[in-house]
Amino acid sequence: MLPALWLGGCADTMTAGQPMKRFTDLVRSYDRTLTTAEKKAAIDELQQEKERQQKQLEQGDGDPPKTN
């Protein structure tokens, strides 16, 4: 009977009146995969940088961008 009371007490405190978080929300901080919005933002940023570099080359300002 004691184990049933113990488990019942744990089950009551787990929810504590608020909904359980989704598993994906809990592991998001460990996940290194970009969300769709983050992917789009990264692509947009790279495209803008590429356009800026191309304009700089066309104008002949400074050295060409370094490549690895």
Place of tokens 């495209």: 47
Find the DSSP H helices in the chain.
2-15, 23-27, 36-59
User: What distance in Å separates the CA atoms of residue 65 and residue 50, rounded to the nearest whole number?
Assistant: 10
Per-residue model confidence as pLDDT tens for the chain (68 residues): 555 545 555 555 555 677 888 887 777 777 778 889 999 999 999 999 999 999 999 988 656 666 66
